[in-house]
Structure 1
Amino acid sequence: MDYYFYKMNLQPNVLKNYSSEEDYKYLLNDVIVNALNLSLGVKEANPFYKICLEVDSKNNFEEKFEELESITNTLNESYEEIVKDFHQTGEINYSKEFLRLNAKASKLRNSLEYEYPELEEVYDEISNEKIEKKYNLNLINQVGTAIFHLRRFYKLKDYISNRNNDIDNQTIDDMYYNPKNEQILVKSSNAIKAENSIKKLINELNKNKIFTEHVGKVSINPVYEDIVIKGNVTEITYVLVYPNGNAPFERHNILEETEGLEQKVTITGNNDNPLNAPVIEQFINKEGEKGYLKEVSIKKGNKKFKIESLIKVVHDIFND
């Protein structure tokens, strides 16, 4: 087991109440600890606080997925009828019932993705062509409504069929709050599992009224050790959160000046020429090391790619 590093970031309207260095230390050591304790519970694990997050046993994945499958099967049958009519008449007619089913199915799928964030990893791993061939889906671009949901659902179905129904039985990793720097340290067997635990923690904290009344809603981002940009990158998009570092020294940027929550930047190469990747790489590494980098994606031509990144990890947080 290793410990993966993440950084909790608060919103600017909360941070402005703790503008001095002394107030900021009080926020980290008392206010946040108290909010965590009142909402989820914490146990002292000197010099950290272990967060007592438990999986809600009421979340029955199998039952919810069966409901989603039933709705989607009906939706797919209706979709095929619309495609058949299109080939015969050249016209596309979406009934109110079809549109209602599509909205209901999409909402239920979104709910599952929110409760089980690991599911979203599936969509990039399985191609549309593979899933359409395997499940004999008759999807055409001319009849576009419902295609997005149908592709995503059958990718989920394919993924779940190979998981031996263990999604509902996944445990939450042990997580520790560091009052010195707002970092969350996740004890986990791998980076993906650690990320899933963090997503569940964010979900629980931001829907908990006791927690948000004390410190507002939070974001929790990875603390990156290394981010690598390879190849001819023609576009890069990144999202930075409001900096939560030492108040007097780390907030002098556009987010601080405007009291903005996030800053999204897209840099595009001139006439689709490659960008100067080393310069961008140096900048996002600097922000990533501080835990302020929420999202980053790159394009090479017209295709999007994930970047190579390494989250900070250590073997032992108690004896370092």
Structure 2
Amino acid sequence: MVLEFEKPIADLEHKLHEMIQLAKGKNIDLSADIHSLEDKLQTLKKETFQNLTRWQRVQLSRHGDRPYALDYIYEMTNDFIELHGDRTVRDDKAMIGGLGDIDGRTVMFIGQQKGRNTKQRQERNFGMANPEGYRKALRLMKMAEKFNKPIITLIDTPGAFPGIEAEERGQGEAIAKNLREMFKLRVPVICIIIGEGASGGALGIAIGDRVLMLENTWYSVISPESCSSILWRSWDYKEQAAEALKLTGPDMKNHGLIDGIIEEPLGGAHRNMLDMASRMKQTIIKSLKELDKMSPEKRITSRIEKFCSMGVVNE
């Protein structure tokens, strides 16, 4: 999958590949030309990805090859054990969770999971959780609190599932309850947006002591397409909507809505998933060490104060 703004890079990579194959096949020394093309490719990548528009970052967050929650979890842990069900309705495949070992410490992972192909996307409901998904997440959070295990949430959803059946089973109530209960959790909570972070669907597992975003992700009350359809009655203005929403990591950081940004490998997380997982793991370990120094009461107070201060304007 190649995005529109990545085509010049893809073309150059193709030329480089052809030159390497030609050198091997004809036994010709083209090392100087190959090095020159490699340098040119690296320069083009830096220029492209250091000057991305907000809409281009939205596109990267949805890239078909981008790692999902389980990809990161299996890479960061040695023995992840997935836990299922909300003990009320069913097991929501769009919301995953379980215990895993990270740097010798057991933590509770919770996240939204998308699918790679049509069958998986239907099974995972495109990463859009139902009420039972949020209730499963809360059940696992309470379990982590009971056994004094830190909680890591990985957020990647276009929103909570908006179907009639979800509303009938209490979608709004389930998310609202998660918000309330996450403020009171006595264990450290780290929330990381790894892809899309849309509306209450994301916020339902995003109340934490540390809220972080990967470099090429977005976090907003509404998607650019939906914003465009409301304001202009058309999806054609999604790029303008993305600029107006200011939904990227730097925007969120400047407004005090997140605590930090985790830099991605050049070209995006999908270019080097192992490197991205390593960066995320080191950030988690560092954050947990900082949070361990605080008492549960201090963490809760700080968590509440942080979110209560958002959007406050002094005149």
How does the TM-score come out when normalised to structure 1?
Answer: 0.22
Give the structure with higher Rg (CA): 1
More strand by share: 1
